[in-house]
Structure 1
Amino acid sequence: MAIEVNGKVIETDEEGYIVNLSDWNEDVAKKLAADEGIELTDAHWEVINFLREYYEEYQIAPAIRVLTKAIGKKLGPDKGNSKYLYELFPYGPAKQACKIAGLPKPTGCI
């Protein structure tokens, strides 16, 4: 499978996650988000950038529990909770946000 962004074809797996992390950029994120029915706001970017930094550091995409705890530590308790994250990413903050952030599917996500 693949998506096209700015004339470049980007390979994705059967669930829509991009195959090569190096293919990711903000335009790719916007396209992936649009395909999910999400208009990216600063709040979305905050989570996306957090996920990318987390992945860079630990080489793993965090599952939802780890994600909420880590976001709470870094961005404050008002953002480090499932309710807030589900408002941004209704199909699952870890799964959907990782997809848009160009990361692999988090372990433990179905």
Structure 2
Amino acid sequence: MQTQTTVVDGIEILLDGEGYLLDLDQWSEEFVQVRADFEELQLTDEHWEIINYIRDYYEQNNVQAPVRDMIKHFKKVWGKEKGNTRYLHKIFPLGGPQKQGNRLAGVRKPKGEH
């Protein structure tokens, strides 16, 4: 398996070849910022809401949040103009919330992804 590293607060952190954390306990808000900078993503409050949603969902269910659950949640929170697949993919342009969002949230790669 190909791996890569990233440095957060002077500590080298191991990632898989696609940038997903190998040790989920090494996640931190600083990790998110370092990786967002690496992916040239300017984080907004909306990004953080999604990242926190993904983390909370994973902690409660031990699986990734399905896109339909995410859309349902954010449609309630933000309204249908922003609570939809198109908008979520617009703010997470490198794979949408399921890929880029999970990477930043320190959650494993979605099942079925290679």
Q: TM-score if structure 2 supplies the norm length?
A: 0.85
> Are the equivalent residues in 2 in contact too, given 1:4–1:10 (CA < 8 A)?
yes
Runs of 4+ more than 6 Å apart: none
Identify the residue that residue 77 of structure 1 maps to in structure 2: 79
Identify the residue that residue 29 of structure 1 maps to in structure 2: 32
Instruction: Please give the alpha-carbon distance, in whole angstroms, between the structure 2 residues aligned to 1:80 and 1:15.
Output: 27
Q: Tell me the amino acid that sits aligned with residue 14 of structure 2.
A: E
Alignment gaps of 5+ in structure 2: none
Give aligned-pair identity as a percent: 39
Identify the residue that residue 100 of structure 2 maps to in structure 1: 96
Map 1:1-110; keep pairs closer than 5 Å. 1-73=4-76, 75-78=77-80, 79-91=82-94, 92-110=96-114
> Are the equivalent residues in 2 in contact too, given 1:95–1:105 (CA < 8 A)?
yes
The alignment covers a number of residue pairs equal to 109
Q: Tell me the amino acid that sits aligned with residue 107 of structure 1.
A: K
Instruction: Please give the alpha-carbon distance, in whole angstroms, between the structure 1 residues aligned to 2:99 and 2:73.
Output: 16
After superposition, the C-alpha distances for 1:41-85 in whole angstroms (9 at most, x for unaligned) are 111001000100000111011243333234334x24334211221
Q: TM-score if structure 1 supplies the norm length?
A: 0.88
Larger radius of gyration: 2
Alignment gaps of 5+ in structure 1: none
Q: Which moved more, 1:47-56 or 1:78-87?
A: 78-87
Q: Tell me the amino acid that sits aligned with residue 39 of structure 2.
A: E
